[in-house]
């Protein structure tokens, strides 16, 4: 029997799915350390998504190589 492979998900889709799962858990919890930990994880996922967007943006350019002959430190 051949096993079907699932379609690979993007990093952004994985982040969004994990965030939705954690937010559903947060809605069920009372205030306490477990709730705080889940909120911290959600903030980390938000940061990861933001960094991913920034890194994949068309405006982000690689550093320009400096010419070896020019010396900007006078």
Q: What is the pLDDT of residue 59?
A: 81
Q: What is the pLDDT of residue 32?
A: 96
Q: Where are the domains of the chain?
A: 12-55
60: closest CA among 45, 50, 71?
A: 50
Q: What is the pLDDT of residue 70?
A: 52
Under the banding of pLDDT at 50, 70 and 90, the label for residue 67 is low
pLDDT digits 0-9 by tens, 8-50: 789 999 999 999 999 999 999 999 999 999 999 999 999 999 9
Cβ–Cβ under 8 Å, residues 25 and 38: yes
Residue 63 has pLDDT above 80, yes or no: no
pTM above 0.75, yes or no: no
């Amino acid at each position: 029997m051949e096993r079907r492979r699932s379609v690979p998900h993007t990093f952004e889709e994985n982040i969004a799915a994990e965030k939705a799962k954690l937010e559903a858990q947060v809605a069920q919890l009372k205030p306490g350390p477990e709730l705080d930990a889940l909120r911290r994880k959600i903030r980390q996922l938000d940061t990861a998504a933001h960094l991913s967007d920034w890194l994949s943006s068309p405006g982000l350019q690689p550093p320009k190589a400096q010419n070896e002959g020019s010396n900007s430190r006078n």
